[in-house]
Amino acid sequence: MANQQQRWNLKLKKSNSYLGTVYLGEPLPLVEDVIMIGDKKYSIIEIIPGTTHDSSDVFVEEAKKK
């Protein structure tokens, strides 16, 4: 039996630009967590449940360098 996966449609908050779709298993990242997309780091700003129980629109912004 396969693990349940969530589909995240990633969008850049500032411009609403679509970055791509990823499929994640549990545990899911939370708001303010930092994730890697390619070679860039992004902070999760907002997670909005999608039209199906296993999808969400996730808004991110580029993480600030420390």
DSSP string, 27-46: SPP-TT-EEEETTEEEEEEE
Residue 48's pLDDT is: 94
Q: Are the beta carbons of 18 and 11 closer than 8 angstroms?
A: yes
Residue with token string 């991110």? 60
Residue 2's pLDDT is: 60
Q: Are the beta carbons of 22 and 13 closer than 8 angstroms?
A: no
12-59 residue pLDDT tens: 999 999 999 999 988 899 999 999 888 999 999 999 998 788 899 999
